[in-house]
Amino acid sequence: MLSTVGHLNEFSYKNEWSIVKSVISGVGSYLPDNVISNDDLSQILDTSDEWIQTRTGIRQRHIILSNQTTSDLATEAAKKAMAAATRDDVDMVIVATTTPDQTCPAMAPAIAISLGLQDTPALDISAACTGFLYGLSIADSMIRSGTYDSVLVIGAEAFSTLLDPTDRTTRVIFGDGAGAAVVEKGSAGAPGEILSVRLSSDGTRQDDIYVASGGVRERMADSPVDPYFRMNGQAVFLRAVLKMEKAARLALDDAGWEPSKLDGIISHQANARIIRALAEQLDVPEDHAFMNIADVGNTAAASIPIAMSAAYDSQVYTPGSSTLLAAYGAGATWGAAAFRWLA
pLDDT digits (tens, 9 = 90+) for 281-299: 999 999 999 999 999 999 9
Q: Which of 132, 161, 186 is the last residue of a domain?
A: 186
Q: What is the CA radius of gyration of the chain?
A: 19
Q: Which of 186, 212, 242 is the last residue of a domain?
A: 186
Beta bridge pairs of residue 24: 183
**Residues 301-313, mean pLDDT to the nearest whole number:** 98
Cα 100 to Cα 58, 141, 156, 228, distances in angstroms: 25, 25, 8, 15
Is 104 tagged catalytic?
no
Whether 180 and 236 share a structural domain? no
pLDDT the model gives residue 15: 52
Check if the beta carbon of residue 293 is closer than 8 Å to that of residue 274.
no
Tell me if 10 is assigned to some domain: no
**Which one, of 244, 323, 270, 328, lies nearest residue 24 by Cα?**
323
Whether residue 310 is preceded by a cis peptide bond, meaning omega within 30 degrees of 0, is no
Q: How confident is the model at residue 313 (pLDDT cuts 50, 70, 90)?
A: very high
Beta-strand relationship, 122-125 and 92-96: parallel
Whether 217 and 281 share a structural domain? yes
Tell me if 272 is assigned to some domain: yes
Check if the beta carbon of residue 269 is closer than 8 Å to that of residue 293.
yes
Angle between helices 233-255 and 272-281 (to 10 degrees): 40
pLDDT the model gives residue 48: 97
**What is the side-by-side order of every strand in the sheet holding 3-4?**
3-4, 10-14, 194-201, 333-340, 322-329, 264-267
Whether 63 and 34 share a structural domain? yes
pLDDT the model gives residue 5: 40
Whether 265 and 229 share a structural domain? yes
Read off the pLDDT of residues 63-116 as tens digits, 9 standing for 90 and up: 999 999 999 999 999 999 999 999 999 999 999 999 999 999 999 999 999 999
Whether 336 and 270 share a structural domain? yes
Which residues are CB-neighbours of 234 under 8 A, at least 6 positions away? none
What are residue 95's phi and psi, to 5 degrees?
A: -120, 120
Distance between CA atoms of residues 238 and 244, nearest Å: 10
Percent of the chain with pLDDT over 90: 91
pLDDT the model gives residue 221: 85
Check if the beta carbon of residue 51 is closer than 8 Å to that of residue 41.
no
Whether 133 and 206 share a structural domain? no
The domain in which residue 168 lies consists of 15-186
pLDDT the model gives residue 7: 43
Whether 180 and 216 share a structural domain? no
Tell me if 79 is assigned to some domain: yes
**Residues 139-158, mean pLDDT to the nearest whole number:** 98
Whether 58 and 136 share a structural domain? yes
Report the CATH number that the domain containing residue 117 is assigned in CATH: 3.40.47.10
**Residues 300-308, mean pLDDT to the nearest whole number:** 98
Tell me if 76 is assigned to some domain: yes
Count of helices and strands (H, E) across the chain: 10, 15
Q: How confident is the model at residue 220 (pLDDT cuts 50, 70, 90)?
A: confident
Is 268 tagged catalytic?
yes
- Whether the per-residue pLDDT at 323 is higher than 50: the answer is yes
Mean pLDDT of the chain: 94
Distance between CA atoms of residues 151 and 138, nearest Å: 9
Whether 213 and 310 share a structural domain? yes
Read off the pLDDT of residues 2-50 as tens digits, 9 standing for 90 and up: 333 444 455 555 555 557 899 999 999 999 999 999 999 999 999 999 9
Q: How confident is the model at residue 1 (pLDDT cuts 50, 70, 90)?
A: very low
Whether 134 and 52 share a structural domain? yes
Number of domains comprising the chain: 2
Whether 201 and 129 share a structural domain? no
Tell me if 1 is assigned to some domain: no
Q: Which of 186, 210, 228 is the last residue of a domain?
A: 186
* Active-site option among 15, 129, 271, 292: 129
Whether 136 and 234 share a structural domain? no
Read off the pLDDT of residues 168-194 as tens digits, 9 standing for 90 and up: 999 999 999 999 999 999 999 999 999
Cα 311 to Cα 87, 237, 290, 299, distances in angstroms: 21, 24, 7, 16
SS3 call for 37: strand
* Active-site option among 15, 38, 292, 298: 298
Check if the beta carbon of residue 299 is closer than 8 Å to that of residue 173.
no
* Active-site option among 268, 271, 288, 292: 268
pLDDT the model gives residue 12: 54
Q: How many residues does the chain have?
A: 343
Tell me if 108 is assigned to some domain: yes
Check if the beta carbon of residue 274 is closer than 8 Å to that of residue 237.
yes
Tell me if 5 is assigned to some domain: no
- Whether the per-residue pLDDT at 237 is higher than 80: the answer is yes
Q: Is the dihedral of CA 165, 171, 172, 178 positive or negative?
A: negative
Tell me if 160 is assigned to some domain: yes
Distance between CA atoms of residues 73 and 192, nearest Å: 24
